[in-house]
Amino acid sequence: MKETIVFVHGMCHGSWCWEEQFIPYFEKLGYNCIGFNLPGHETEGRTRPISYSLSDYVQALRKQVENLQEPPIIVGHSMGGMILQHFLKTRLCKKAVLMSSVPPSGVLLASLRVIFRYPGVIPHLLLGNLLGAFKKYPHLILNKATLTARYSPRMCAESFRAYVDLLIPISHRSSLPILVLGGSKDGLITVREFESTANHYHAKLSIIEGGSHDLMLDEDYEKSARAIEEWI
């Protein structure tokens, strides 16, 4: 048995997003794979509001890791990437993959960019309804209509409190091996921001041409999985 990989999902998602493609892919390679739901994300399609801080989510990751016999490799997607960046302070992992991750500078620029391009998100944000914003503009996350139709109903409500925490930049750096992975067609985070994240951590950068924000659910998900496989 190879090392353990822990997968941390992003905003409005759940462990299901890893179970579709990535976990079977890496289990076939012999890795022990763990996907878990952040607090409040246990029920697919849940619309009832939740309220958790980013620290609550970091603690949820810590609990998963503390149950392991040795430090794992951790893959964090989107908001999960920022959760992972905070978790790196503990040094309780061997390697880290920041996939479509919120950059260390926070989510402010990405938020302003989305608001400018899609002002229809504003009413949802004023109500703290992040799920509503993603449902209105699902192409921010996935590039194909067939995929948004398949996966959007599975997305759940997100904590607006955690989103506000994502606006705060992170200043610390980590000397652990880090891979920054992003899609060239990501609707939320730009390639320039992926480059900035890689520079911040002196990390390897891998850009998936044509990849969306949800690289693990893309039709070409194997490109992203292979990039991680080759790196780890």
Give the pLDDT confidence of 165-223 residue by residue, as tens digits. Answer: 999 999 889 889 999 999 999 999 999 999 999 999 999 999 999 999 999 999 999 99
Q: How many helices (H) and strands (E) does the chain have?
A: 11, 6
pLDDT number for residue 171: 87
pLDDT number for residue 77: 98
pLDDT number for residue 1: 60
Measured between alpha carbons, how far is 212 from 106 in angstroms, rounded to an integer?
Answer: 19
Give the pLDDT confidence of 102-143 residue by residue, as tens digits. Answer: 999 999 999 999 999 999 999 999 999 999 999 999 999 999
Place of tokens 């930049």: 169
Which CATH number fits the domain that encloses residue 111?
3.40.50.1820
Place of tokens 């890496």: 26
Q: What is the DSSP string of 150-175?
A: HHGGG-----HHHHHHHTS-------
Sign of the CA dihedral running 41, 43, 47, 49:
negative
The domain in which residue 163 lies consists of 4-231
State phi, psi for 155 to the nearest 5 degrees: -70, 155
Number of folded domains in the chain? 1
pTM: 0.96
**Are the C-beta atoms of 191 and 210 separated by less than 8 Å?**
no
Measured between alpha carbons, how far is 91 from 187 in angstroms, rounded to an integer?
Answer: 31
CA dist 41 → 1, 34, 51, 88, 152 (Å): 30, 16, 11, 23, 14
